[in-house]
């Protein structure tokens, strides 16, 4: 196995890896569920229903901005869960909630540590405006070296076009080939399986307890519970821990 220090670029998933989007989604649904007597619906069912319709909508409308996609799937979710349909205002509020989803406690400090060694690239299933809110808020204005959104590409991961676009852009911006890149992500479905198919090395940031994006077959080169653990491992290799 190669060493972490041998690579030059980290390509990040954001929502699920840097941002605790499961907590963010459930928080955004809380008042809507309370108004519909739906507070007894288990967390697992809510998140699995969300993930099912998110993936379905991304496949059906790959060029739909993510905030709009969220608003759209809320109607499908509530129908499946047996809840009254949300109002347009409620669905729009859910779509606009992304910027308030919290970062994991270790995220920003770990990014600062990793930036000393790598170019840090965002490759996210998000729209530009929503990511701007996340970056200026929970991510504390962290200066990523490159930001690539699904809106820029016109498709959502795990579509191989997203990884092809990232590799081409990273080559042009940093003269780095795929053997220099680590796809750094929580989701097996969105990131690790397609990255392996593209020949890209990956680091699995497990985020213990995460529900969405898991697959029975777990693919990765490195496995860390948190991004902070990955930064620890790099610094141990470099002798700076």
Catalytic residue positions, numbered: 13
Is residue 111 within 8 Å of 18, Cβ to Cβ? yes
Q: If DSSP codes are grouped into helix, strand and coil, which group holds residue 213?
A: coil
Residues 168, 174, 177, 182, CA torsion sign: negative
Is residue 73 within 8 Å of 59, Cβ to Cβ? no
The alpha-carbon radius of gyration of the chain (Å, integer) is 18
HEC string for 135-160: HHCCCCCCCCCEEEEHHHHCCCCCCH
- CA dist 198 → 15, 36, 149, 181 (Å): 21, 44, 19, 12
């Amino acid at each position: 196995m190669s060493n972490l220090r041998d690579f030059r670029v980290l390509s990040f998933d954001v929502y699920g890896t840097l941002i605790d989007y499961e907590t963010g989604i459930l928080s955004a649904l809380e008042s809507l569920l309370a108004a519909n007597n739906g507070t007894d619906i288990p967390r697992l069912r809510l998140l699995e229903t969300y993930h099912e319709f998110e993936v379905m909508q991304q496949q059906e409308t790959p060029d739909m901005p993510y905030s709009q996609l969220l608003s759209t799937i809320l109607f499908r979710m509530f129908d499946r869960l047996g809840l009254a349909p949300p109002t347009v205002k409620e669905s729009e509020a859910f779509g606009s909630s992304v910027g308030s989803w919290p970062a994991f406690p270790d995220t920003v400090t770990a990014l600062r540590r990793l930036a000393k060694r790598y170019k840090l690239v965002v490759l996210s299933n998000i729209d530009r405006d929503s990511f701007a809110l996340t970056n200026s808020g929970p991510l504390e204005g962290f200066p990523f070296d490159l930001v690539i959104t699904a809106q820029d590409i016109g498709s959502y991961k795990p579509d191989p076009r997203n990884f092809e676009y990232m590799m081409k852009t990273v080559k042009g911006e940093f003269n780095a080939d795929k053997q220099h890149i680590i796809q750094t992500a929580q989701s097996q479905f969105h990131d690790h399986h397609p990255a392996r198919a593209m020949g890209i090395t990956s680091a699995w940031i497990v985020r213990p307890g995460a529900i969405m994006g898991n697959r029975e077959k777990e693919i990765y080169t490195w496995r860390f519970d948190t991004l902070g653990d990955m930064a620890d491992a790099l610094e141990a290799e470099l002798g700076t821990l």
